[in-house]
Amino acid sequence: MSATQYGILVVEDDFRIADIHRAFIEQSEGFYVVGMARNGSEAKALMAQHAAEIQLILLDAYLPDVEGLELLWSIRRYYVHVDIVMVTAAKEVETISEALRGGIFDYLIKPIEAARMNQMLTRFRREREVLANRAEMSQDELDHVLARVTPSEPTRSDSRALPKGIDRLTLRRVVDALAAAPDSLTAMQVARTMGASRSTARRYLEFLVAEQAVSAELGYGDVGRPERRYRLLGAAKGWLDSL
């Protein structure tokens, strides 16, 4: 377990979405929620009171009393130690471009899947921990930490390339969900276990079937309809560890 705990401020006016973000954060090792702000005024007040505890802010672009981008620049001016992730429904390139110029750590478009949120938090923790323990870095080390290498230049010579739309983190979550189950699972059951959509779970499951790491068979549900069920094969763990 990570010894360092990183505090997060959630700035979101929809309490239901804010609660979902809180749940994602609390399930991630090394993070805790310092506060929840429903608007810009509450966010500024919480930052003034708990600035030393907050290392990361999840910021919506649409707030009732201020534009999220305006708040972004304000935070950048007064709290240079804090990283910011935009978590918003805003898909406009103009908004995304300005947020990138504002030095955001990441940009997540709603609705957010648990795997994508966890991916961002894992990268944040890794970067913070590496930078905290180094006096200087080489270009190769910096590229690796900041994920600046291209897919054609893997950081490990023995890494296997995965097809577009398949990432290792989500793949491991699917395998873990199957491994923890006493029996075969449907795509919907896997999706509920890992906190993703059914289509995402099915895409990863069918990839694993094609790689012969998972078997698929037809079963019958409560209403008598045939449904595709998935079972982890014995060689799957070794196959996954080779990625």
For 101, other C-beta atoms within 10 Å of its C-beta total 11
The arithmetic mean of pLDDT across residues 96-108, rounded, is 93
pLDDT in tens, 1-38: 457 899 999 999 999 999 999 999 988 889 999 999 99
Query: Do residue 192 and residue 73 come from a single domain?
Result: no
137 located within any domain: yes
159 located within any domain: no
87 located within any domain: yes
Query: Do residue 126 and residue 184 come from a single domain?
Result: no
Stated as kind and residue range, the H or E segment containing 192 is: helix 187-194
29 located within any domain: yes
Query: Do residue 15 and residue 66 come from a single domain?
Result: yes
Query: Do residue 19 and residue 134 come from a single domain?
Result: yes
pLDDT band at 151 (very low <50, low <70, confident <90, very high): very low
Q: Which of 100, 116, 147 is the last residue of a domain?
A: 147
Query: Do residue 229 and residue 127 come from a single domain?
Result: no
pLDDT on residue 221: 58
157 located within any domain: no
Query: Do residue 176 and residue 114 come from a single domain?
Result: no
CA distance 221 to 218: 10
pLDDT in tens, 119-148: 899 889 888 888 887 778 787 777 766 765
- Amino acid letter at 148? R
pLDDT on residue 156: 44
For 13, other C-beta atoms within 10 Å of its C-beta total 16
For residue 129, what is the domain's CATH number? 3.40.50.2300
pLDDT on residue 170: 87
Between CA 141 and CA 133, with CA 159 as vertex, the angle to 5 degrees is 25
Q: Which of 147, 182, 201 is the last residue of a domain?
A: 147
Using the structure block, give the residue that is written with the tokens 């954060």: 25
Query: Do residue 117 and residue 64 come from a single domain?
Result: yes
More confident residue, 141 or 211: 211
Between CA 67 and CA 71, with CA 69 as vertex, the angle to 5 degrees is 75
- Amino acid letter at 204? Y
Query: Do residue 172 and residue 120 come from a single domain?
Result: no
pLDDT on residue 211: 81
For 27-31, 136-140, 178-182, 238-242, which range has the lowest pLDDT when averaged over its residues?
Answer: 238-242
pLDDT on residue 97: 93
pLDDT on residue 159: 47
22 located within any domain: yes
pLDDT on residue 216: 85
pLDDT on residue 20: 92
pLDDT in tens, 54-65: 999 999 999 999
55 located within any domain: yes
pLDDT on residue 232: 86
Average pLDDT, the chain: 84
- Amino acid letter at 87? V
Contact 79, 103 (CB under 8 A): no
| Residue environment code for 111-124, b if the CB has 16+ CB neighbours within 10 A, otherwise e | ebbbbbbbbbbebb
Write out the residue range of the structural domain in which residue 204 sits.
168-241
pLDDT at 155 > cutoff 80: no
Count up the domains in the chain and report the number: 2
For residue 194, what is the domain's CATH number? 1.10.10.10
pLDDT at 183 > cutoff 70: yes
Facing residues of 150 across strands? none
Query: Do residue 97 and residue 130 come from a single domain?
Result: yes
110 located within any domain: yes
Query: Do residue 89 and residue 204 come from a single domain?
Result: no
The arithmetic mean of pLDDT across residues 39-68, rounded, is 95
Query: Do residue 10 and residue 112 come from a single domain?
Result: yes
